[in-house]
Amino acid sequence: RLRALNRLQVILQHLKMSKQTDSTAEVLLEKKGGAGIITLNRPKALNALNLSMIQQIYPQIKTWEQDPETFLIIIKGTGGKAFCAGGDIRAITEAGKVGDKMSQDFFRGEYRLNNAIGTCKKPYVALIDGITMGGGVGVSVHGHFRVATEKTVFAMPETAIGLFPDVGGGYFLPRLSGKIGYYLALTGCRLKGRDVLKVGIATHFVESEKLPALEKDLIALKSPSKEKIEDLLNSYHMKCTIDQEKEFVLGEHMEKINSLFSANSMEEIVKKLKQDGSPFAMKQLETISKMSPTSLKLTLRQLREGASMSLQEVLRMEYRLSQACMKGHDFYEGVRAVLIDKDQSPKWKPAALEEVSDEFVDNCFKPLGNDDLKL
């Protein structure tokens, strides 16, 4: 009977492993050589993160972190188009509308995962090939190494859907040089390829078609230190000549970005843009006027406060904001206009920056008592 039981355990163990490497699974978790490999596997959804993926990745990172035989963690996406285009916004919207606790569980799980990556003791290498937005930024930017390619498209476009650049955006965006993080957060501006490296989101730049070879070399490293991993990434980075001569797309505008986006309030930023009157300023004004006024105010304060906070403090603050957005109007309206009906004409409430009171903004930042995020 004992033998039968043992056999059953072996079979179950085998099934568990094969489930994880089953090609239909939404996330694949494998161990190859000294590397733990996370593969986001929802190519049709551009590898957007859903709650079940988050709940599988988090404990696996924690396990690998404790495992003496795991020397690094690699995360990548399948399908060739996206690393990860964000979170499963539609599911959150549906849940939030009916007051389902999934709208709490999702953010709580996602931010805990962001924190696990930000505090991970094992070198963490994100291969951000293709679209990397929102939740995809959250599972890459807090790790040690982010490898961009000529196909990388980075953006934090949340103000357009009545949300704010979360997943630790309040931590990493204000730490980028000058006021570029504020600019990216408020306008949702997209950066491509080498520009993602130049702005400091990526640490390395490698040709997209060289990634399989890079991954193979990373897996082959024998009990590597963080320095050894960095040396390998550097060697690939140095050999890559794509777009080497290209100027940084925002280079000529940096002076303007730094002065225009350094104001203390959204109203002041808008005033500065109008006064400046240059084609660049007018274009930013047009973009900002389409965003949720509530989101803009929450985002500016989120970044200003996050600039001097730890990642943990930022994620706690962002969890409070996420729950405020779930109770509000603009998130559902933004998702409707951008993702569901796709008419691109959201009716924001309130419709003007002046109508979003300081008192309202203050309330969104208030602690949630027992419901606060625990890290």
Catalytic site positions: 87, 135, 158, 166
Q: Are 201 and 148 in contact (CB under 8 A)?
A: yes
Query: What secondary structure letter does DSSP report for 243?
Result: T
For 211, the token pair is 């990634």
Distances (CA, A) of 332 to 23, 116, 225, 346: 33, 29, 46, 10
Contacts of 374 (CB under 8 A, 6+ apart): none
Widest pairwise Cα distance in the chain: 83
Q: How far apart are CA 262 and CA 274, in angstroms?
A: 15
Q: CA 10 to CA 76: how far, in whole Å?
A: 30
Find where tokens 């996206």 sit.
82
**Cβ-proximal residues to 146 (8 Å cutoff; 6+ apart), any chain:** 126, 128, 140, 201, 202, 203, 204
Q: Do β-strands 27-32 and 35-40 pair in parallel, antiparallel, or remain unpaired?
A: antiparallel
Q: Which ranges in 328-367 belong to alpha helices (H)?
A: 330-335, 358-364
Q: Which residues of 265-278 are buried (b: 16+ CB within 10 A; e: fewer)?
A: ebeebbebbeebee
Residues 6+ apart with CB under 8 A from 294: 162, 328, 330, 348, 350, 356, 360
- What letter would DSSP give residue 247? P
d(CA 285, CA 271): 9
Separation CA 210–CA 233 (nearest Å): 11
293-306 vs 266-276: helix crossing angle, rounded to 10:
100
Between CA 365 and CA 321 the distance in angstroms is 6
